[in-house]
Amino acid sequence: MSQTEALWWASESFWRKTAIWVTAGSFVALIFLTFDTMSQITAGTKRVPAYSVINHRVDYVFDEKRNFQVPVIGPEEPLFGQMLTEEQAAAMVSKGKLTVQAKNCMNCHTLLGNGAYYAPDLTKAWLDPAWGSKEVREQSMVEFLMNPQERLHNVLGRRMPNLKITEEEARATVAFLKWMSSIDTNGFPYNFKPLDQEN
């Protein structure tokens, strides 16, 4: 027993205390980091722009200093030709996000790289060259979302099912996707080749 006393660093009570302190310390550190991160990812900050960003062109351009592509907010290019106030934009993006959740998009697609892997990532869906040109993009997206099941998507024969998305929901989803493409994701996806938006 005297051995045990000598080996304080191997005793049960020492490790019980260590476990508690390590856990508490890590958790407190996490709380502080969470507060700081929250302040940086609230909509309307540099990393996560305000919802009214959908009134502008969003691009994805290589940044020499940070060594990866970053979103760049360009000139006014209102979505569906309509300038929105901050409140209207927020409501529209929120409707889009609700649609994304209610239609279970995340169990085929990934968003910011998280989700399922049966369908393409949606992080930069707004900027994907697959939409052809910037002029037809918005309308193509809405039509596709409302009636995807009959279109040929790819050589694999994988199709998106008809999720009974209304026109309002489709437009809101496009707003959500446009806003999402403006989030600074530290260069994810890497080496992405966005749709040409220059006139």
- Minimum CB distance to another protein smaller for 35 or for 75: 35
> Is 176 one of the binding residues for another protein (CB under 8 A)?
yes
Residue with tokens 């994805």: 60
Q: Among 17-25, 80-88, 134-142, which window interacts with another protein (CB under 8 A)?
A: 17-25
Task: Find the shortest distance in angstroms from Cβ 154 to another protein.
Answer: 4
Q: Which of 95, 140, 143, 197 binds another protein (CB under 8 A)?
A: 95
Task: Find the shortest distance in angstroms from Cβ 54 to another protein.
Answer: 12
- Which backbone phi and psi does 168 adopt, to 5 degrees? -60, -45
* CA dihedral sign of residues 54, 57, 63, 65: negative
Q: How many CB atoms lie within 10 A of CB 106?
A: 14
* Ramachandran bin of 152, using left for φ above 0, alpha for ψ from -120 to 50, beta for the remaining angles: beta
> Is 41 one of the binding residues for another protein (CB under 8 A)?
yes
> Is 70 one of the binding residues for another protein (CB under 8 A)?
no
- Minimum CB distance to another protein smaller for 75 or for 190: 190
> Is 185 one of the binding residues for another protein (CB under 8 A)?
yes
Q: Among 72-80, 120-128, 140-148, which window interacts with another protein (CB under 8 A)?
A: 120-128
The pairing of strands 68-76 and 110-111 is: unpaired
> Is 103 one of the binding residues for another protein (CB under 8 A)?
yes
Rounded CA-CA distance 170/193 in Å is 25
* CA dihedral sign of residues 175, 177, 180, 182: negative
Q: Which of 57, 77, 88, 97 binds another protein (CB under 8 A)?
A: 97
> Is 43 one of the binding residues for another protein (CB under 8 A)?
yes
Q: How many CB atoms lie within 10 A of CB 55?
A: 20
DSSP 42: S
* Residues whose CB is less than 8 angstroms from the CB of residue 194 and which lie 6 or more positions away in sequence, other chains included: 59, 60, 124, 127, 128, 129
Task: Find the shortest distance in angstroms from Cβ 56 to another protein.
Answer: 18
Count of positions on this chain that bind another protein (CB under 8 A): 96
> Is 184 one of the binding residues for another protein (CB under 8 A)?
yes
Binders in 125-154 for another protein, by CB under 8 A: 125, 128-130, 149, 153-154
- Which backbone phi and psi does 143 adopt, to 5 degrees? -65, -40
- Minimum CB distance to another protein smaller for 18 or for 82: 18
